[in-house]
A and B are shown apart, each in its own frame.
Chain A
Amino acid sequence: MLKMQDVSKVYRTDLIETHALRNFSLEVKSGQFVAVSGPSGSGKTTFLNVAGLLETFDTGIYELNGQDVARLSDDARSRMRNEKIGFIFQSFNLIPDLDIYDNVDVPLRYRRMKAAERNRRITKALELVGLASRMKHMPSQLSGGQQQRVAIARAIAGDPALILADEPTGNLDSLMARQVVDLLEQINEMGTTIVLVTHDPELARRAQRNVHVVDGVVIDSAPYERRIPTEEAHGGVSRSAG
C-alpha cells in the first residue's frame, strides 16, 4: 500500500537547513493498522504530509498503491488524495460554515459524483460514526468527540484505501478518545489501511505495528509489546510520550 525507501526531506531557509526526514524507509502493507510515534520534531508530521501527498520530498522513492508518486503533477496528486487517501486531523479541521452533511460532502464534490451517490455515501458514513441524526447541525453545535467522528466520516465517505490520522485523539478526553479508537479499529477491520501518528501509548498499543521515529529516521518498527526500550538512547523520550 505505502512504500518509502530512503526518502529525505529538507526544509531550507536563508540561514538554516532542517533535515525532517533522513533516508526514511517504511513499508505498510494493505489492511495494516500502523501507529507512528516519536518525540516532538522527530519528523512524524512531515512523514504524514509526504505520505498524504501534501508535501513533496527531495530524494528517495515513494510508491503509493504501487505507483511512484515522485513526478506526479499537482492535479494527479490532488486526484490521488481525493480517491485513495482519507485524512483525520488532531483539530478535526471541519469547515465551520458548512453543516455536518456538507462537511462530509467536501471530498465527494471534488470527485464529481452524482448527488444521489453522494447522498448514499454521506448517510452511510454518518451512520457508521453514529451521527446520522445530526446531519444538519453545524460543527460548533457538536462536542469535540462528535466533531472528530464527523471528520472520520468525511475521511471514509470516499472509500479510501488509506487513512492517515494525525493525533486524532490529541484534543479529546479519554472516553471520547476511546470511542474514536474503536471506530478506527472498526474501519481497519473493514479492510482500510490506517497510519496514525500519536503520542498516546494506549492508542499505539492497539495498532498492529508501532513505528518509532527519531530525528527523521525510523528506528523501530515492531508491535508495541515487542518494542525495545530504545527511546532514552535516541532523545530521552519516554515510552508513554510516544
Chain B
Amino acid sequence: MLRYYLRLAFNSLRRTPGLTALMVCAIALGIAACIVTLTVYHAMSGNPIWWKNNVLYAVTMDSWDPGTPYDSKHPTLPPPQLTYKDAIYLASSNIPKRKVIMTQLTGMLNGAPGQAVPLRVMTRATTRDFFAMFDVPFEYGGGWRGSDRDALPEIVLSKQVNAELFGGADSVGRSISWNGNRFRVVGVLRKWQPLPRFYDVVNSAFPPPEGTDQVFVPFAWMTALQALPTGNMTCHGSGGVDNYQQFLGSECLWIEMWAELPTAAGRERFRAFMDAYWAAQRKTGRFQRPLNNRLTDVGQWLQDNGVVTSDSRILLRVAFAFLAVCLINTVGILLTKFLRAAPIIGVRRALGANRRHIFMQHIVEVAVVSVAGGLLGLAVGAAGLAGVRAIHAQDNTYAMLAHFDPLGVAWALALAAASTLAAGLYPAWSVGRLPPAGYLKSR
C-alpha cells in the first residue's frame, strides 16, 4: 500500500502546486534557520574530546581574595587558574594517571635554515603529559622525553610552523632557537586545533589564527628562562613583585591544570589530596575563602566558563520559535488542503477505506512534503552557512565553525521529518474522522 499512498501523495501535491510550494518553502525556511543556528551552536558547545569526558578534569582551588569572589557573576565558582606554587604542589601528586600544568606565552623562533627574520610564535609551556593526555596527533616524532623536573631543551612544532620553517619536511632532531636558547625539535604535530579549545578557555575557547598554539616547550624551561606568561593573569593581595622568584611565589593566577583521573576512587583520593593541601595552607594564612576545590569534567568546564554564549542560546531559541511558526502555518495549510479534499475522502470511505487507510494516505503525503522541505531546507541552510562564512571571512574560527558536517545533515533531515510529521499528525488524523456521508452529496 505504501507505493499506492506515495502515488496518491504525488497526485495530490501536483493538484495544488501553489499550496505545495508554500508548505515546502515554509518548512525549508524553518529548517534552514535551525540548521544554521544549530550548526554554529553545536560547534561552539560541542566537546571536542568527548571520549575522555569522564576522564579529564580541570583542577581548580579558590585561593582568591577573602573579601570578594573571583567572578562576581558566578560567585560560587573558584578561579579557573592556579598560582605557581599551588600548581607545582598539586602536579607533584602521583595519584592522577596523567597531569599537566601549562600557560601561554609568546616566543621568538630563530635559526631555521634560510630563516632571515625571527618568527614570533604563540607558545604553550606545558609539562610532558600534555600530548598523551589530550591525544595530540604527531606527524613526526613525539613529545619530550625528559622528565618535568629535569626537562631537556626540547620543542614541538605545529604543522604550520614546521611548514614555514622547514618546508613541511621531517624536522625532528633539528636545532632551533626559542627566545635565544637552543632547543631540539622532537616532534611535529599534525593539524590539531580542538574547538572549543577546552584546555585553555581562559585565554580563548575560539582563538584567532594568531592565538593558536604554534610551538610547545617544557614548562620547566619557561621558568628556567624566567619567561613571563602573556596569557590571562590575575593577581590579588598587596605587595609588589620585584623579581621572578617573587612572581613565582605571588598570589597571581596564571596556570591551567588538568588531571587524568579515570576512576572514581582516584578522583576521591586526589580530591582528598587537594583538601589536605588546602587545610595545611589555610593554617599559614592562605585560602581564607570557603573550601571550594573542584575537579570539573570537560563538558561542565565549558559551561562554567561560558563557552556557549547567551547570544547563541537566544538565537537558537529564536530559530526554533521560527520553525514552530513555520510548522503552525504548515498545519493550517495541510488542514485547508485536506479539508478541501473531503469529498474525495468521503468517496474513499464509501468504497471501503477505514480511518487508518485515510490517516496513512495523508501522513505519507505529509512525509513527502517533509522530505521535500527538509532537502530544500538543507540547501538553504548550506547557503545560509556559506553566508555566515562570507560575513565572517576575516575570522577563521567562524569559517571553521560554520561548516556543514554529516552530523548536521542527519540532524537537519531528522528535524525536518520529526517536526513535519508531528505537525501533520493532527490534520491527517482529523481528516480520517470526517463523516463521509456529508460530503458525498455535496460533490
Contacts and interface: CB of A to CB of B under 8 A. Distances in A.
Q: Do A and B bind each other?
A: yes
Interface of A: 45, 49, 52, 54-55, 74-75, 78-79, 81-83, 87, 89-91, 93, 95, 97-98, 106-107, 109-112, 154, 158, 166
B352 A83 contact: yes
A106 B443 CA distance: 18
A78 B354 contact: yes
B386 interface: no
A97 B11 CA distance: 7
Most-contacted residue by chain B among A45, A52, A54 (CB, 10 A): A54
A81 B352 CA distance: 5
Nearest to A155: B351
A109 to B, nearest CB: 6
* Main SS class of interface, B: helix
Interface in B408-443: 435-437, 440-441, 443
A154 B347 CA distance: 11
Given A45-B441, A93-B443, A110 B353 contact: yes
A52 B353 CA distance: 13
Contacts of A45: 441
A75 B432 CA distance: 12
B361 to A, nearest CB: 10
A166 B440 CA distance: 10
Given A54-B440, A93-B347, A97-B11, A107 B352 contact: yes
Given A55-B435, A89-B440, A110-B357, A81 B350 contact: yes
Contacts of B349: 54, 78, 81
A109 B4 contact: yes
Contact of B352 (A55, A79, A90, A98): A79
Contacts of A106: 347-348, 351
B351 A79 contact: no
Most-contacted residue by chain A among B349, B356, B436, B440 (CB, 10 A): B440
A54 B355 CA distance: 13
Interface in B382-406: none
Contacts of B351: 81-82, 87, 106-107, 110, 154
17 contacts: A45-B441, A54-B440, A78-B349, A83-B352, A87-B440, A93-B343, A93-B347, A93-B443, A95-B344, A95-B348, A98-B11, A106-B347, A106-B348, A109-B1, A110-B357, A112-B1, A166-B441
Given A54-B349, A93-B347, A97-B12, A75 B443 contact: no
A95 B344 CA distance: 6
A154 B350 CA distance: 12
A79 B436 CA distance: 15
A75 B348 contact: no
